[in-house]
Structure 1
Amino acid sequence: MVSSPDLPDSAAVGVPTAPASATVTSTVSDDVRNTLWWIGGRSVDGTLTTNIAVDNAGSVQNLSSTLTIPNTPVPSSGTFQVVASGTLPALTLANAGTTSINLGTADLALTPRYQNGEPTWIGVVHVPCTVKAGQVTKFYEFQVA
């Protein structure tokens, strides 16, 4: 689930928008959780780097944003969620018309930690997040004048 409550309702050509806060909630599968638990991971923290395509009335610019995942406990069974938060970059748009923000691939980089807070022997675990065929990627839409 992705949310960004302060994205602009509208924008003006050539005038940068304000950066927008963003929160992304990702579900970690039971298989990944099981692996984390097996290596001694009792908590994780890290980053989520996401690629964003901004379609400004037919002109597309690709952006990237890295969000922070605070220390999150790893349960002994089942799936669990990690919440990444941070800021989406300001946008300077060249064209008047409808602009959409579309989500793309992402990289979830988790550092598993032992009960004492030290990183486990495995280091950072990268979990790629890809867009599935037919998946709707439009996250937000607004007008530029």
Structure 2
Amino acid sequence: MRLRPLALALVALATMGQVAPSPQPPPQVLFGPLFEAVQAARLYPDSKTFADATPREAPDAVMAAWRAEQPQGPAALRAFVNRHFVVPAEPGARPSLREHIAALWPQLTRPALTPPPGSSALAMPQPYVVPGGRFREIYYWDSYFTMLGLKADG
């Protein structure tokens, strides 16, 4: 097996004692049955949400409360989690790919252009669409795919 240079550097640092071990076990170890219950109940659309939650008190205190309360059902479990953890906000609803592309057209559309003297730009008598990023002008190959996208988007 061949390791990449970064992986080799990390292995070298770890063996020299330069990379500190994680200060505590991961959430699935710290909160064992609670972690399993939250993930099994699918309280959050993204399974990483609870893994990224921060306990409001020491893990031992959270687990003592868990054993004492034994919350049953998703609503009780969610209430328990909200009392004992700071849960990261869920990202906003993501648009469909079609909606995302439709929202890009206004950002990528440029007005008709009369280039100033000495400019390398070509005159564009109608609004046009650029590929985005650092590109301020149209390109043959990109224009072909842009036209296909515009046609598909209506």
> Which bin holds the TM-score, normalised by the shorter protein?
under 0.3
Which has the higher Rg, Structure 1 or Structure 2? 2
The TM-score, its normalising length taken from structure 1, stands at 0.19
Please state which structure has a larger fraction of its residues in strand. 1
Please state which structure has a larger fraction of its residues in helix. 2
